[in-house]
Amino acid sequence: NREGLLNAVADAGFAELTRRLAAVRRGDAVETLRAVLDTHLDFAMEKPRLFELMFLSLRPGARQFPGDFRAGASPTANVAVELIEEGMRRGDLRPGDAWEITLETGALLQGMVMLYLGGRIGMEAEEFRALCHRSFRRYFDGIRA
């Protein structure tokens, strides 16, 4: 049925994005998180309708915070949590709830992408990417150790 098809398409998108995220080179936590940001932005710009289906569309079967996330059911969130926890262990990031930080950064990214794709941010793609980097820099400055 339609719902099953949409979930299958979204799941395939999550699998692809998870593969891309797994390939991000790790280093300093903030630099790694910037690379994760760019990976998400690349995906959103290359496949805007798929990104919208995955993250912004109401659909049965979509994973929900906190239950599904904390249970490890979100492949993209799992990668982000692992990177954030690693940064906390190394002392790059202040201690905190890695799941909540993942939700916050995801909400910032997805909200900005939604506004951009919806024509509410009047910038060329590279200007938009720079705006995202400035916004995330301000956020990262708040969680950096």
Q: What is the DSSP string of 16-78?
A: HHHHHHHTSPP-SHHHHHHHHHHHHHHHHHH-HHHHIIIIIS--TT---TTHHHHTT--HHHH
* CB < 8 Å & 24+ apart, contacts of 94-102: 94/143, 94/144, 94/145, 96/143, 99/65, 99/66, 99/69, 99/70, 101/143, 102/69, 102/77
Instruction: State the pLDDT at residue 143.
Output: 83
Q: What is the pLDDT of residue 138?
A: 92
pLDDT for 92 equals: 92
Q: Looking at the predicted structure, is the pLDDT value of residue 12 above 90?
A: yes
pTM assigned to the model: 0.91
